[in-house]
Amino acid sequence: MEILSLYELNQFIRAVLEDSFPETFLVTAEIASCDVKNHCYLSLIDKDEETVRAEMKAVIWADKYKKLSAAFTQATGVQLAKGIRILFEASVSFHERYGLKLNIVNIDPSYTIGEMAVRRKEILERLVKEGIKDKNKELEFPLVPQRIGIVSSSTAAGYEDLMHHLVSNAYGYKFRCKLYEALMQGERAEESVVSALQKCMSDASLLDVVVIVRGGGGQADLHCFDSYEIAKAIALMPLPVISGIGHERDITVVDEVSNMRAKTPTAVADLIITRAKDFEDLLDSLTHELAHEARQLASDEREKITALAKNLEASSRKQQLDNAFRLSLFVKGLKYSLKLIQSEHERLRSREGNITHLDPAHVLKRGYSITYLNGRAVRSASEAVSGDILRTVLHKGELTSIVNKKKAMKT
* 101 domain-assigned: yes
pTM, rounded to two decimals? 0.59
pLDDT tens, residue by residue, 169-193 = 999 999 999 999 998 877 788 899 9
Query: Is residue 25 domain-shared with residue 103, that is, in the same domain?
Result: yes
Which of the listed residues 251, 278, 305 is the one where a domain comes to its end?
Answer: 278
Collect all residues with Cβ–Cβ distance below 8 Å to 243 and sequence separation of at least 6.
212, 225, 252, 254, 255, 258, 260, 261, 262
d(CA 394, CA 281): 115
- Residue 307 inside a domain? The answer is no
- Residue 212 is predicted with a pLDDT of 94
Q: 379: helix, coil or strand?
A: coil
266 plus 154 within the same structural domain: yes
How much is the pLDDT for 230?
A: 94
31 occurs within a structural domain: yes
pLDDT at 225: 84
Whether 288 maps to a domain, the answer reads: no
Q: Tell me: do 80 and 114 sit in the same domain.
A: yes
Q: What is the pLDDT of residue 139?
A: 95
- Assess whether 116 and 168 both reside in one domain: no
User: Residue 218's pLDDT is what?
Assistant: 46
Residues 116 and 201 in one domain: no
Asked whether residue 291 is domain-assigned, the answer is no
- Residue 354: inside a domain, yes or no? no
Count H helices, E strands: the chain?
Answer: 9, 14
Count of structural domains within the chain? 3
Decide which of 238, 258, 278 is a domain's last residue: 278
Q: What CATH number is associated with residue 227?
A: 3.40.50.9100
The answer to whether 136 touches 211, Cβ cutoff 8 Å, is: no
- pLDDT for 248 equals 59
For residue 53, the domain's CATH number is: 2.40.50.140
304 to each of 291, 309, 310, how far by Cα in Å?
Answer: 20, 8, 10
What is the model's pLDDT at position 215? 61
The 10s digit of each residue's pLDDT in 134-148 is 999 999 999 999 999
pLDDT of residue 120: 85
Q: Kind and range of the H or E element at 284? A: helix 265-357
Q: What is the C-alpha to C-alpha distance for residues 256 and 338, in angstroms, rounded to an integer?
A: 102
How do beta strands 85-95 and 147-152 pair?
unpaired
The parent domain of residue 384 ranges over 363-402
Q: DSSP state, 136?
A: T
Do the beta carbons of residue 137 and residue 227 sit within 8 Å? no
Same domain, 21 and 125: yes
Domain match, 229 and 271 both: yes
Please tell me whether residues 160 and 104 are part of one structural domain: no
**Domain finish residue from 278, 298, 322:** 278
Q: Is residue 347 part of a domain?
A: no
Same domain, 70 and 155: no
Q: Is 102 contained in some domain?
A: yes
Same domain, 121 and 154: no
What averages of pLDDT result for each successive group of 10 residues across the chain (411 residues)? 83 81 86 91 88 92 92 82 88 85 91 82 92 95 94 88 93 94 84 94 95 66 80 95 76 90 91 94 91 90 90 88 88 87 86 71 75 84 82 85 79 57
